Amino acid sequence: MTDFGDQATLTIDLDALVANWRRLGALAPAAECAAVVKADAYGLGAARVGPALFAAGCRRFFVAHSGEALALRAALPASTGAIIHVLHGPGPGGEDDLAAAGIVPVLSTPGQIAAWQAAARRAGRALPAALHIDTGMNRLGLTAAEADQVTADASRLDGIALEFVMTHLACADEPEHPLNTQQRDRFAAWRQRFPGLKGSLANSAGIFLGPDFHHDLLRPGIALYGSNPLGPAAGPRGDAAKMAQVVHLQGKILQVRSVDSGMTVGYGAGYIVEKPSRIATIAIGYADGFTRSLSSRGFAVIRGRQGHMRVPIAGRVSMDLITLDVSAVPDGDCRPGDAVDLIGGGVDIDAQAATAGTIAYELLTQLGRRYRRIYTGAAA
Ligand SMILES: *Cc1c(COP(=O)(O)O)cnc(C)c1O
């Protein structure tokens, strides 16, 4: 691949993505494995991620907004039978457009149900939808009282062809949290009210909670993209949920300089050099989504001839640049033009997110637009 002199490269491995999707599906062989590709596939590009998963056999996708659904529809091969669900449901007035595009919304309020029914009447046919019932998250979904009303009177769903009923776990990444089994049991009880209808409960972490969380349809997001859904805090138990690495963010070294003790590095002069040091300047900053909270806390990895060397970020992350203390790295392994890993490669995405005080979800969805993006793998 030609290098145009780009100083920051984001490589997205579509083979690893597909391997993760297959692996999650294999954990629940009786269930269908969908893919959550909201927020532009967690920042990685839904127009590339969607078709790659489709080619691997994925036939069901979840996005958050109607606009994302219509964009994904256009990116997937035409009339393929891929089903796209909008987690937020149709926006008021957007029902007819969604119905015409064959998008299947997730309905979460009595108002959305009524509006989708009205759209079905206008269309002169039953319209497919999914139903979201809240079981403890208190964010989206019918409340227990609303769900009671809807299930008590079958006419409330006239004209709607329900494909499945779903709920969402609040604490799936904390396997011992009591809310997990409460939500599981509440969901099982709700499903009794919809005999024969499919159910969907598990996000990425939920898949690892065991078979009674699987139901008929899995909704993984973050694990597809290479983050361990049980998080870095899960310890040895988390090893079971280690995913193939999808994202590799590399920045190039622009300069390496010697700095005497007593001098400072970067804005605010807050990083004081205690002994003569070498500082490497890298062409990535907060404008690229490399968050400022990594200032003097985050790290990079230099892949030297003696192996991987972890080097600390020295001083503040600025808009276009970061500075690394590379004093411990042999000269020959750290020259202008050399690449350093900031996410992926030698850097665990969840560890970098944790040092930033956030989670891989946020690190990925903030990734900037200025990187040279390279998609690799058979589907690229
Ligand atoms: C985002 C989302 C998912 C995917 O969650 P991950 O933790 O990324 O696997 C699944 N279901 C719903 C309702 C969501 O909002």
373 C-alpha to ligand 1 centroid (Å): 25
∠ CA 101-129-169 to the nearest 5 degrees? 120
Q: What are 268-295's pLDDT values in tens digits?
A: 999 999 999 999 999 999 999 999 999 9
Residues near 175 by beta carbon (within 8 Å), at least 6 away in sequence? 208, 209, 230, 237
168 CA: nearest ligand 1 atom: 13
Q: What are 221-230's pLDDT values in tens digits?
A: 999 999 999 9
Mutation test of ligand 1: which of 21, 135, 168, 209 has the most ligand atoms closer than 8 Å to its C-beta? 168
231 pLDDT higher than 80: no
173 CA: nearest ligand 1 atom: 7
Mean pLDDT of 92-120: 97
Mutation test of ligand 1: which of 24, 87, 174, 187 has the most ligand atoms closer than 8 Å to its C-beta? 87
87 CA: nearest ligand 1 atom: 13
90 C-alpha to ligand 1 centroid (Å): 18
List the domains of the chain with CATH numbers: 14-227 (3.20.20.10), 247-358 (2.40.37.10)
* Distances from the Cα of 90 to the Cα of 82, 159, 163, angstroms: 19, 16, 16
111 pLDDT higher than 80: yes
Q: Whose CA is nearest to atom 4 of ligand 1?
A: 221
pLDDT band at 233 (very low <50, low <70, confident <90, very high): low
For 72-137, give the DSSP string. HHHHSPTT---EEEETT-PPTT-HHHHHHTT-EEEE-SHHHHHHHHHHHHHHTS-EEEEEEB-SS-
83 pLDDT higher than 60: yes
Q: What are 298-337's pLDDT values in tens digits?
A: 999 999 898 999 999 999 999 999 999 999 999 999 999 9
| Residues annotated in a binding site for substrate | 139, 319
Say whether 275 sits in a helix, a strand or coil: coil
Query: SS3 breakdown of the chain: % helix, strand, coil, rounded to 5?
Result: 35, 25, 40
Q: Whose CA is nearest to atom 3 of ligand 1?
A: 203
Residues near 316 by beta carbon (within 8 Å), at least 6 away in sequence? 266, 267, 268, 270, 271, 292, 295, 296
Structure tokens, 38? 């909201």
Long-range contacts of 230-234, Cβ-Cβ distance < 8 Å, separation of 24 or more = 230/173, 230/175, 230/205, 231/173, 231/350, 231/359, 232/348, 232/350, 232/351, 232/354, 234/173
Q: Give the span between the Cα atoms of 203 and 280, in whole angstroms.
A: 40
Which uninterrupted H or E stretch holds 190? helix 178-192
The torsion defined by the Cα of 188, 113, 80 and 49, in degrees rounded to 10, comes to: -70
Mean pLDDT of 132-144: 97
Mutation test of ligand 1: which of 169, 171, 180, 203 has the most ligand atoms closer than 8 Å to its C-beta? 203
Nearest C-alpha neighbor of 187 from the set 204, 173, 205, 206: 206
172 CA: nearest ligand 1 atom: 7
State residue 79's pLDDT score. 67
232 pLDDT higher than 80: no
State residue 4's pLDDT score. 56
Mean pLDDT of 185-200: 96
Burial status of residue 194 (CB atoms within 10 A of its CB: 0-12, 13-18, 19 or more): middle
CB of 62 within 8 A of CB of 85? yes
175 pLDDT higher than 70: yes
For 17-49, give the DSSP string. HHHHHHHHHHTSTTSEE-EE-HHHHHTT-HHHH
306 C-alpha to ligand 1 centroid (Å): 40
Mean pLDDT of 248-270: 96
Mean pLDDT of 66-87: 91
Mutation test of ligand 1: which of 86, 173, 183, 219 has the most ligand atoms closer than 8 Å to its C-beta? 219
Burial status of residue 22 (CB atoms within 10 A of its CB: 0-12, 13-18, 19 or more): middle
**267 among known catalytic residues:** yes
219 CA: nearest ligand 1 atom: 10
Nearest C-alpha neighbor of 249 from the set 370, 361, 379: 370
Nearest C-alpha neighbor of 361 from the set 370, 352, 369: 352
**371 among known catalytic residues:** no
State residue 5's pLDDT score. 65
Q: Give the span between the Cα atoms of 217 and 166, in whole angstroms.
A: 9
Find the catalytic residue in 198, 242, 267, 375: 267
37 C-alpha to ligand 1 centroid (Å): 9
State residue 238's pLDDT score. 79
State residue 2's pLDDT score. 47
Residues near 294 by beta carbon (within 8 Å), at least 6 away in sequence? 313, 317, 322, 352, 355, 356
pLDDT band at 146 (very low <50, low <70, confident <90, very high): very high
Query: Taking CB atoms and a 6 Å cutoff, what residues make up the pocket around ligand 1?
Result: 36, 38, 87, 168, 203-205, 219-223
Nearest C-alpha neighbor of 291 from the set 354, 372, 347: 354
Backbone φ and ψ of 109, nearest 5°: -135, 155
53 C-alpha to ligand 1 centroid (Å): 17
pTM of the model: 0.96
pLDDT band at 3 (very low <50, low <70, confident <90, very high): low
Half-sphere exposure of 301 (CA within 13 A, CB side): 18
5 C-alpha to ligand 1 centroid (Å): 37
231 C-alpha to ligand 1 centroid (Å): 15
